[in-house]
Amino acid sequence: DAGITQSPRHKVTETGTPVTLRCHQTENHRYMYWYRQDPGHGLRLIHYSYGVKDTDKGEVSDGYSVSRSKTEDFLLTLESATSSQTSVYFCAISSSLNTDTQYFGPGTRLTVL
Amino acid sequence: QKEVEQNSGPLSVPEGAIASLNCTYSDRGSQSFFWYRQYSGKSPELIMSIYSNGDKEDGRFTAQLNKASQYVSLLIRDSQPSDSATYLCAEPTGGGNKLTFGTGTQLKVEL
């Protein structure tokens, strides 16, 4: 497996609370991505980063923010969690030499009650 | 916006048979496609990439790209129970540093 970890791996929280998910890589890859995966919708891109402090929105970015202060870390924050954000969240990375090939982290299962 | 469509399945095949998974896409300009395999409860992993029209073989896997008909397929020969998983196809978007995924096809290989 590519050196990608996600924390926490499981989280249960209540509506209205802030939540931060962390993605950490040891591959020194330039690009990092946050996806959510829901039944019937597949993988959908939330936000991505193309370098330190350089981020952009994906197709389902409402309600989410990200930060990347170091190459190895990409944080996803739900400012005020809602039940519709219950999902499995995957982080992925790719290098600038081969941006097509994305390697995925193990995922975080988030439940918002 | 690019769209990638897959039949959700499940597709059931007997052990040893050929499994055929298909994906259609909307963008005639698409140049490359990727097949990911995802076991239940696990993360997706890349198993095949194809960059040109025609076939690409890798072991028991063959990816086929038909740009005229706008579909890409994955053939798995001599299917094994360990091939039971969800298969996702993806194409590059946004200048190539992002991927758009299909919803995936669940494959079940039965003994």
Per-residue pLDDT, B1: 64
Extract the residue ranges of chain B whose pLDDT is less than 50: none
| pLDDT per residue as tens digits for the range A62-93 | 999 999 999 999 999 999 999 999 999 999 99
The pair of structure tokens assigned to A80 is: 């005020």
The pair of structure tokens assigned to A55 is: 């981020």
pLDDT above 90 covers what percent of chain A? Answer: 88
Three-state DSSP class for residue A87: strand
Instruction: Count how many residues are written for chain A.
Output: 113
Chain B, window 37-66: residues with a beta carbon less than 8 angstroms from a chain A beta carbon: 42-46, 49
Residue located via tokens 């076939």: B55
**Residue A41, min C-alpha distance to chain B (Å):** 6
From first to last of the 113 residues of chain A, give the pLDDT tens digit.
569 999 999 999 999 999 999 999 999 999 999 999 998 888 999 999 999 999 999 999 999 999 999 999 999 999 999 999 999 999 999 987 666 789 999 999 999 99
- The amino acid present at A110, given as its one-letter code, is L
Q: Collect all residues of chain B within an 8 Å Cβ-Cβ radius of residue A33.
A: 98
Q: Count of A–B CB contacts within 8 Å?
A: 47
Q: What's the 3-state SS for A61-81?
A: CCCEEEEEEECCEEEEEECCC
**Residue A33, min C-alpha distance to chain B (Å):** 8
